[in-house]
């Protein structure tokens, strides 16, 4: 088969790779219905934390089970499944606590920008839908594999409650789906921080009531202005830079909550800043697996449409253009069809 491989910053190639096979009895092999490019794929694409070795790319996936190892009992050949970027056993104490992305046996699932994928710990990782979904649901279901789960976790971690005021820092796909999650959870006022018109439009469509275009001190001042000088009850941090993290912390009211899901790059927090901020911090790699059954149900019933973040669809072999479009911010998120 052929799949996406990152050779060097800016250099993604679609080239021959070994066909995935069952290695452990707990593995499954799935044939991809759709995959996509993640905002976090852009970090190595832009030359941050890349290992130097050619790396198979992609960690968002959904598709049809082709083969399962002999120890797999809960998913079967022919089922449509979705899984998270972290394989998890779903039985260890961390999984039982709802932190499957911190599973004691977690394995990163990489190389998903390909027509076929090996998924470890299939029983714990994959969730099958009741039926094979119609084609128009595929983008919505694919989004649950990572971005929607990340936005949802940010909202949960930020303790979003009905009627509360919530600010969302970041207008990438995760931030936008954070807005959608917050709306679904019943927040009253939803302030999206965005400077891009097309993203502001989608944020409004997903439920944002206010848009703040300012950043830094001005952004904080603007949020205080909108909240009678006290700050938001909950803030979702969906970027991962020093500026965005401090934006989130400083926009939160005393006793409020910050849910952070942006993968940190160079973020350092000062003890004193945290000490006097009087807030709750909770975040990390989203335990997507925890939310899959509920989110699949919401998509199936037409209550949420997270697939709207895909504003570019390309054949899988055009994956390099999918990266370029996102890198140049011409696209929010690229869906790839094998
Ligand atoms: Zn576990």
Q: Evaluate whether 2-146+287-337 and 148-283 have a shared fold.
A: no
pLDDT in tens, 289-327: 999 999 999 999 999 999 999 999 999 999 999 999 999
Q: What is the mean pLDDT of residues 13-35?
A: 97
> What are the residue boundaries of the structural domains of the chain, listed by start?
2-146+287-337, 148-283
Maximum alpha-carbon separation in the chain? 60
DSSP secondary structure string, 221-273? Answer: HHHHHHTTTS-EEEEEE-S-SHHHHHHHHHTEEEEEEEEE-SPPSS----HHH
Q: Which residues are within 5 Å of ligand 1 (an ion), measured at CB?
A: 88-89, 92, 95, 103
Find the 106 Cα to ligand 1 centroid distance in Å.
7
Give residue-wise pLDDT tens across range 249-280. Answer: 999 999 999 999 999 989 999 999 899 999 99
SS3 66: strand
The token duo for 302 is 């037409």
Q: How far apart are CA 338 and CA 292, in angstroms?
A: 23
CA of 121 to the centre of ligand 1 (A): 10
Looking at CATH, the fold of the domain delimited by 148-283 is given as: Rossmann fold (3.40.50)
CA of 296 to the centre of ligand 1 (A): 21
CA of 60 to the centre of ligand 1 (A): 20
CATH for the stretch 2-146+287-337: 3.90.180.10
DSSP string covering 265-324: SS----HHHHHHH--EEEESS--HHHHHHHHHHHHHTTS--GGGG--EEEEGGGHHHHHH
Residue 52 has pLDDT above 80, yes or no: no
Contact 245, 238 (CB under 8 A): no
> pLDDT over 90 for what percent of the chain?
96
Centre of ligand 1 from the C-alpha of residue 53, in Å? 29
């Amino acid at each position: 088969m052929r799949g996406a491989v990152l050779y060097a910053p800016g250099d993604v190639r679609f080239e021959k790779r070994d066909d995935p096979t069952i290695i452990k009895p707990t593995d499954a092999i799935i044939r991809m219905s759709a995959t996509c490019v993640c905002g976090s794929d852009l970090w190595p694409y832009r030359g941050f934390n890349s290992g130097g070795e050619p790396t198979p790319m992609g960690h968002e996936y959904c598709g049809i089970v082709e083969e399962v190892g002999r120890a797999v009992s809960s998913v079967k050949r022919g089922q449509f499944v979705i899984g998270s970027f972290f394989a998890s056993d779903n039985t260890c104490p961390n999984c039982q606590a709802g932190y499957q992305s911190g599973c004691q046996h977690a394995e990163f699932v990489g190389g998903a920008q390909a027509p076929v994928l090996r998924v470890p710990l299939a029983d714990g990782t994959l969730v099958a839908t009741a039926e094979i979904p119609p084609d128009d649901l595929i983008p919505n279901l694919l989004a649950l594999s990572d971005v929607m789960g990340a936005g949802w976790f940010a909202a949960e971690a930020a303790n979003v409650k009905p009627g509360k005021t919530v600010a969302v820092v970041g207008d990438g796909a995760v931030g936008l789906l954070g807005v959608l999650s917050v709306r679904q959870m019943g927040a009253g006022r939803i302030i999206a921080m965005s400077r891009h018109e097309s993203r502001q439009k989608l944020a409004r469509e997903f439920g944002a009531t206010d848009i703040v275009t300012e950043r830094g001190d001005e952004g904080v001042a603007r949020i205080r202005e909108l909240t009678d000088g006290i700050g938001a009850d909950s803030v979702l941090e969906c970027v991962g830079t020093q500026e965005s993290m401090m934006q989130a912390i400083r926009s939160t009211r005393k006793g409020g909550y910050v849910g952070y899901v942006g993968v940190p790059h160079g973020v350092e927090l000062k003890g004193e800043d945290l000490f006097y901020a009087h807030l709750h911090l909770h975040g990390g790699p989203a335990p997507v697996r925890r939310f899959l059954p509920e989110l699949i149900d919401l998509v199936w019933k037409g209550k949420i449409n997270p697939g709207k973040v895909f504003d570019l669809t390309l054949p899988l072999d055009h994956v390099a253009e999918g990266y370029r479009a996102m890198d140049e911010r011409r696209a929010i998120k690229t869906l790839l069809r094998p």
